[in-house]
Amino acid sequence: MARQRRVTATDVAREAGVSQTTVSYVLNDVPHQKISAETRQRIHAAVAKLGYAPSAAARTLRTGHSNIVLLLLARMPLGHTAIELVEQLTQALQEHGLSVVTRIDDGGPDASLWADLAPRAVVMLAPVRADRRKRMEAAGIHVINAWRRDPEDAGHDTLAHSQHRVGQLQARYLVAAGHRHLGYAAPADSRLSDFYELRLEGVRDACADLDLPAPVMRKIEPDRESAATAVQAWRSEGVSAVCAFNDEAAFALLAGMRQAGLAAPGDLAVIGVDDIPVARFAEPPLTTVDQHMGIVAAGLAEAILRRQDFSTASAGKPRGESATVVARQSA
Amino acid sequence: MARQRRVTATDVAREAGVSQTTVSYVLNDVPHQKISAETRQRIHAAVAKLGYAPSAAARTLRTGHSNIVLLLLARMPLGHTAIELVEQLTQALQEHGLSVVTRIDDGGPDASLWADLAPRAVVMLAPVRADRRKRMEAAGIHVINAWRRDPEDAGHDTLAHSQHRVGQLQARYLVAAGHRHLGYAAPADSRLSDFYELRLEGVRDACADLDLPAPVMRKIEPDRESAATAVQAWRSEGVSAVCAFNDEAAFALLAGMRQAGLAAPGDLAVIGVDDIPVARFAEPPLTTVDQHMGIVAAGLAEAILRRQDFSTASAGKPRGESATVVARQSA
DNA sequence: CTGAAAGCGCTTACAG
DNA sequence: CTGAAAGCGCTTACAG
């Protein structure tokens, strides 16, 4: 396997009849370096002819930072909403020459997560332990925590904010349908607790705003017995509608109700979150909240770029509704 | 933001009172370099004290290759099965110092996918266009295609093989339950066609082996009308059971049947693939096939390591069943 | 058993 | 408008 020598900027320079310095200037569009259009032309032609691709390693070594933005995902069920977020963020940052790379934070040795990548920034889509964050920052990496509100770092909280909004939407929809006493179905899976807290908070705030009693929260295991028990308990307390943490929890509730001879929305209205592909095939079809990750991604991208001293005169914050209700039959 | 100078191997050497060369030898466990235990000790202490982390960029530049294995995902719904595969593969390769990084192939500019990473190998979990593969190989990157069988590259096909196996299991389960004439519900989404072909092939082969008629395939849109139509058609042809491409398709079928006043498994038995979290909450609870990605990941890891000239005397191929049926009520 | 030195492919002052 | 040269932090022959 005679692996041929890699094509370097020097090869391009030779081919184009200029210095390697000029090649670098042209390829990086260095400002204040007026290079004749004709020279640029020759260089681009040489690049194409030789199939030159710059060495990221060399650039990183020289400049002290890569163009990689590391997206750290928690080891939790992801689903299509998370995937959409990743896609949207990848696209938004790509336009600024930043390369998004995803890793699942498997709780392994700390540095192994990012040492090999030398990312320019790390976006934590999962709760971060403070010490881990500290260590990254000590290594000169910008850490964007999409979970916690941080007054100094506007934009960081876009994901958290969106979760709060989701809870609000669920509650308001239910209240608009005439319900006054709400329940909240949280997942028993402890990896998800930071997640549901934010959504539950949104439900609580909406109830408070509307002068309604606080929602009564129950954790449910992913099985129909656990769900059926919770349903009975809510009903006996006068709860007439429940916000499920996500569509999976909502499915459990619906199954639990069927088992108990009950049916949504009459006996208990149910609203989920995510609009997973099978939500429409639930019995009855599931009313849910769909998140628009394009909005969340735009906010996150802005926060990242601002930290990078990119000239993002990007005309104010991205705006738009980050989630909307998909009304079907379960509520 | 006075970003302090990065800690280098030279700093470690100074601290430990040895040369930078020795630091490198110790940290890389270079064979044939007998270094006294005491020196090693001092070096490791210095590393810990200074919080030294080697520069991946420098190593990559020097050696000509990184320790990164790029996992290229197709832009298609992923689900927990894919996530499990990623996790397992990450873990398996981590033990060999390889760092798995995931990217969604968004069909963007070709090189932007890997140029910034200079990966040592690329694993395509999605169908690859031949020209793209060629270009990567020209750049000295090993390409592992998990989709196609390739006689020269044993192990490459583990994912493809597993898909075939999934189809087989579906068919055999149905036949064991007394069905003789099977249907196959394929997704209309064209991004999924390479995927379902492999599974369908497994169903076909199982039927042929059992001297049964070939399965009759129908593409179904993700809505209950489309599903109901397909169900009626199958029934009129004498098909008594259908293998759905995945659980989502199975849910559509179940919903279509309810709409038509029919019910599984009596009117038509249905078996899915994936055992998504809500499968147990289907009405009736969905019988499905669960894939064990640990097995698939092990096979893939082996193929990657073999290519890297790693001394994987890993005692033969990983063995075990890559998928099993989860029997519930729909079939 | 340990170290001095070359060189990987870039970027970027600096000098024309 | 263009180029010669230093240097980023490693690995690895090579010489002791």
What tens-digit pLDDT sequence spans chain A (331 residues)?
A: 334 577 888 899 988 888 889 999 898 887 776 778 888 888 999 888 888 888 888 998 998 888 888 888 877 666 778 888 888 888 888 888 888 888 877 666 666 667 767 788 888 887 677 777 777 777 778 888 887 666 555 555 678 888 999 999 999 999 999 999 999 999 998 888 888 999 999 999 999 999 999 999 999 999 999 999 999 999 999 999 999 999 999 999 999 999 999 999 999 999 999 999 999 999 999 999 999 988 888 888 888 888 766 555 454 555 678 899 999 999 9
Tell me which DSSP letter residue A152 carries: T
Chain B, nearest residue to A103 by Cα: B101
The strand ranges marked E within chain B are: 68-73, 99-104, 121-124, 142-145, 182-187, 216-220, 241-244, 269-271, 288-291, 323-326
By the CB < 8 Å criterion, does A213 face chain B? no
CATH code 3.20.20.70 for A66-159+294-319: no
Collapse the DSSP code of A193 into the 3-class scheme (helix H, G, I; strand E, B; otherwise coil) and give the result: helix
Tokens of A63: 């400049």
**Any residues with CB less than 8 A from the CB of A4 and at least 6 apart, and which?**
none
User: Which part of chain B has CATH 1.10.260.40?
Assistant: 9-54
Give the one of B111, B118, B248 whose C-beta lies nearest to A278's C-beta. B248
User: Which part of chain A has CATH 3.40.50.2300?
Assistant: 66-159+294-319, 160-291
Q: Do A280 and B255 make contact, defined as CB atoms within 8 angstroms?
A: yes
User: Number of A:B CB contacts under 8 A?
Assistant: 150
B244 Cα to chain A: minimum distance (Å): 14
H-helix or E-strand spanning residue A47: helix A37-50
Distance in Å from C3's C1' to A69's CA comes to 38
A157 Cα to chain B: minimum distance (Å): 23
Give the other-Cβ count within 10 Å of A235's Cβ. 16
Q: With pLDDT > 70 as the criterion, what percentage of chain B qualifies?
A: 87
Distance in Å from D9's C1' to B140's CA comes to 23
Q: Which nucleotide is nearest to A8 (CA to C1')?
A: C9
CATH of region B9-54: 1.10.260.40
B211: left (phi over 0), alpha (psi -120 to 50) or beta: left
Chain D nucleotides close to protein (CB under 7 A) are 1-5, 7-13
By the CB < 8 Å criterion, does A31 face chain B? no
Chain B, nearest residue to A258 by Cα: B283
CATH code 3.30.479.30 for A160-291: no
Distance in Å from D16's C1' to B41's CA comes to 24
Chain B, nearest residue to A98 by Cα: B116
For residue A110, list chain B residues with Cβ-Cβ distance below 8 A: none
Q: Which nucleotide is nearest to B25 (CA to C1')?
A: D11
Give the one of A55, A87, A281 whose C-beta lies nearest to B251's C-beta. A281
Give the other-Cβ count within 10 Å of A268's Cβ. 26
A64 touches strand D (CB under 7 A): yes
What would you measure as the largest C-alpha separation in chain B, in angstroms?
A: 85
Chain C nucleotides close to protein (CB under 7 A) are 1-5, 7-13
CA A74 to chain centre: 11
Instruction: Please give the span between the terminal C-alpha atoms of chain B, in angstroms, as a whole number.
Output: 64
Q: Rounded to whole angstroms, what are the CA distances from A65 to A59, A62, A98, B3, B116?
A: 8, 8, 11, 12, 12
Query: What's the CA gap between B75 and B71, in Å, rounded?
Result: 13
Its pTM stands at 0.86
